[in-house]
Amino acid sequence: MQRRRERFTIIKVWKIYKNIVPNDIGLKFYDSSRRGPIAIVPPLSKVSNSGRNSQYGGSFHVKGAKLWNSIPKELRSLSKMNLFKNALTTYMKTTPDEPPISGCTRANNNSLLDWTTTVVRGRSA
């Protein structure tokens, strides 16, 4: 279920970026010549308490921007929805999908964000 939710979130951010759906959350983007289209992750207020910190990290605005930025720039630059969805599915199949098992310790919580961080840092999962 987690991967399905993350896929849906990335597709929704792509639709916002392409102006297919309203950007009612105020998600902002900029184009980088090196990294392609990047979503701006809103800053966390310095006076937030721990409850607000967890709400911040789980919000669509933050999680969507981070997931969007974690996929390859070639995917983010695709202009047709069916091409984007197919390429996203292919990309997601290349990352391990190991949902948590009750009573077992995991290296991460199986989010694409965790797997891309693990790969970028060169650690094996």
- pLDDT on residue 76: 92
| Better-predicted residue by pLDDT, 83 or 119 | 83
Residue 124 pLDDT exceeds 80 = no
Give pLDDT tens digits for 8-21: 999 999 999 999 99
Residue 125 pLDDT exceeds 50 = no
Residue 26 pLDDT exceeds 60 = yes
pLDDT, mean over the chain: 79
Question: Which residues touch 107 (CB under 8 Å, ≥6 apart)?
Answer: 114, 118, 125
Give pLDDT tens digits for 90-121: 988 887 666 667 776 666 666 676 656 544 43
**What is d(CA 25, CA 71) in angstroms, rounded to the nearest whole number?**
21
- pLDDT on residue 84: 96
pTM: 0.75
Q: Give Cα separations from 31 to 2, 37, 122 (angstroms).
A: 28, 4, 27
- pLDDT on residue 95: 77
**Is 8 exposed, middle or buried (CB count within 10 Å of its CB: 0-12, 13-18, 19+)?**
exposed
- The percentage of residues in the chain with a pLDDT greater than 90, rounded to a whole number, is 42
